Amino acid sequence: MAWVVLAGVLTAGVGLPAALRGRGAKNGWPMMALPLLLGLAVAAAAMTFLVQTEMDWNSVRTAIPFALSRGIPIYYDHTGPLWCNIYPPLSFVLYTPVGLGGTPLGAIRIGQAMAVAWVMIPVFAAAWAGPRDVSAGRPVAALLGFAVALATAAVLKPMQDAAFAVHVDAPAVGLGVLACLAASRWESTGRLVVAGVLAAAAVFCKQTMVGLAVALVVWVLVVGGWRRAAVTAVAGLAAGAVLAGACAVAFDAKALWHVTVTLPSRHEFPGGFVGSFGRVSKESGWMLPPLVPVVVVLAWTALRSRGRAVGEVGTLLLVAAVAEWPLGMLGYMKFGGGPNNLAYCETFLVAFVAWAVAKLVGERVEGPRAAVLAAVLVLAAGACVWRLASVDSSVIGGPSKHELSYRLVRQSPGRYFFPRLPLAHLMGEGRLTHHHWGLYDYELAGEHVSDDWFWRYIPPDAVVVAHNDRPPGTRNLMYQRLAGKYPKQARRPELPGWYCFLRDGG
């Protein structure tokens, strides 16, 4: 907790000189808000980072690029460990620096730092693009826009998952925002080529980014005509063809197609399409709507400017958000979908907020427009305070589940099996093991995992199966397969608070 506060204080110390140097800003009063808001945003983001570290998902999401960094295949055709890796390989390739981590916790935090960079650096670039002129006040404007965006990311669940955990989402949305920034200079053929390439790369991080690729071409068609739109489309298709060829060469092409196309295409909507839509709409009610009125008011305020509003990068970011919302909802609705799918819409909205705030600070705004800007800054500061006050310190102060499982696996190889923490096995004993969601991917796609396949990636002599946060439900497929061999639930002193199952006769 102490170093989180220290991070905020130090950042505020950086913000103050920037504010003092930004005397050229047309709005003097935002300079006073910069140190406080920037410090609060960094502190809230640091707290969110620490909380997200302990997510189970980080283990499997880090295990995949860690294995790749060691030359271990990550796609298998009806064989191999079940890792829940139904995504194209580019994100996993980009995360391979996690291989520098010496322990699971170290590797995960490297991955988290990369996720933050992949999301927030493009968002800062969007803020930097806000002010029309390069002036002494531009750093202040950009930092304020970035601080509001960082506060938003620290508060909203989809953004927490995308920006502060090891997810394929971070490189995907980061490349998407960069593609929008490149396409905003649509007068330049070179920039449009770059935009097309970045959009293709985003799709090869996660399939749902195809919405961004289509929206990009449509937007360029509207603002620049069919020739420029054709340049963007051809560049994207050519880049996609090159990436597809590279993936086919670098990975088992048949396995890659099966895992990233066949399996997800067979996943159904739990409760049917209508029932799934109703469930997700209810669950997501607190995730996206709080940002919508802020975006609407900022759009009305910031886009009232010289020139055609449709040609502004802010408009393109809004178009991208609208294009990604239905795809994100579909991803959330399908089996296994989570709130992180909404980040494919939210990230573009957050980037728009950063751009709009920076744009307003870089202009002289008075009356209602100044009131809107002040309200947004106050809301962002309040969100940071709420985030810092709402987190249970025990969440970040207790022992790390990643380190505890890793230590036990190293001390007693083969004795334990952690269905949700495959990274501990990979780094602790060099063993490839299943992740419980990977079993769902196959079974609910109608592909039965045989007993031979299943037990091949379970430590054969394991005495203890440990679930770290809650007991597995009877509908848990991994639990169903293990229950016959591990029927006895018990508490273990070396795993305080964990739900453990012992081998029959063990």
pLDDT 10s digits, 91-143: 999 999 999 999 999 999 999 999 999 999 999 999 999 887 656 578 888 99
pLDDT for residue 363: 78
Looking at the domain assignment, is residue 81 inside a domain?
A: no
pLDDT computed for residue 135 by the predictor: 60
Q: Among 371, 394, 417, which residue terminates a domain?
A: 394
What would you report as the CA-atom Rg of the chain, rounded to the nearest whole angstrom? Answer: 24
Residue 382 CA to residue 389 CA, distance in Å, equals 11
Q: Does residue 235 lie within any of the structural domains?
A: yes
User: CA 20 to CA 15: how far, in whole Å?
Assistant: 9
Cβ–Cβ contacts within 10 Å for residue 8, how many? 23
Which stretches of the chain score pLDDT less than 50?
Answer: 3, 15-16, 19-20, 23-24, 307
Please, what's the b/e burial string for 408-421 (b: 16 or more CB within 10 A of its CB; e: otherwise)?
bbeeeeeebbbbbb
Q: For residue 499, list its beta bridge partners.
A: 467
Expressed as residue numbers, the domain containing 482 is 399-502
Same domain, 364 and 450: no
One-letter amino acid of 38 = L
Backbone angles phi, psi at 351, to 5 degrees: -65, -35
Decide if 79 is inside a domain: no
Residue 12 contacts residue 39 (beta carbons within 8 Å) = yes
* Dist CA 325 CA 348 (whole Å): 10
- The reply to whether 78 falls in a domain is no
Question: What pLDDT was estimated at residue 26?
Answer: 58
Give yes or no: residues 222 and 262 share one domain: yes
User: Is 388:43 a contact under the CB 8 Å cutoff?
Assistant: yes
What local confidence, expressed as pLDDT, does residue 113 receive? 96
Which residues fall within 8 angstroms of residue 222, CB to CB, at 6 or more apart? 310
Total domains, the chain: 2
Are residues 190 and 325 located together in one domain of the fold? yes
Could you tell me if residue 77 is inside a domain? no
CA atoms of 49 and 278, how far apart (whole Å): 31
Same domain membership, residue 459 and residue 420:
yes
Tell me: do 429 and 285 sit in the same domain.
no
**436 shares a domain with 363:** no
Residue at 226 is within a domain: yes
Distance CA 86, CA 205 (A): 11
Residue 74: inside a domain? no
Do 383 and 410 lie in one domain? The reply is: no
Q: 């048949």: which residue's tokens?
A: 254
Do the Cβ atoms of 138 and 128 come closer than 8 Å?
Answer: yes
pLDDT at site 473: 65
pLDDT at 20: 46
Same domain, 345 and 465: no
Residue 355's alpha-carbon distances to 45, 123, 158, 345, in angstroms, are 19, 8, 20, 16
Residue 286 burial class via C-beta count within 10 angstroms: exposed 0-12, middle 13-18, buried 19 and up: exposed
> What single-letter amino acid sits at 57?
W
Contact 153, 52 (CB under 8 A): no
Scan for tokens 């060829």, then name that residue: 245
Closest CA to 236 of 251, 214, 252, 259: 214
Half-sphere exposure for 317 (CA within 13 Å, toward CB): 33
Examine the domain organization and report whether 407 and 382 are in the same domain: no
Q: Distance between CA atoms of 54 and 52, rounded to whole angstroms?
A: 5
Residues 45 and 187 in one domain: yes
Q: Do residues 333 and 415 share a domain?
A: no
φ, ψ of residue 278 to 5 degrees: the values are -65, -40
Residue 464: both structure tokens together: 């203890």
Residue 60 forms part of a structural domain: no
Among 394, 425, 454, the domain-final residue is 394
Which of 96, 74, 95 has the alpha carbon at shortest distance from 85?
74
Distances (CA, A) of 157 to 152, 167, 283: 10, 13, 11
Name the token pair of 40.
């609060």
Q: Are residues 368 and 443 in the same domain?
A: no
Examine the fold and report which residue of 347, 375, 394 is the final residue of a domain before the chain moves on: 394
CA distances (Å), 180 to each of 125, 148, 191, 234, 363, in order? 11, 20, 10, 16, 23
Tell me how far apart the alpha carbons of residues 111 and 75 are, in angstroms, rounded to a whole number.
Answer: 20
User: How confident is the model at residue 139, as a pLDDT?
Assistant: 83
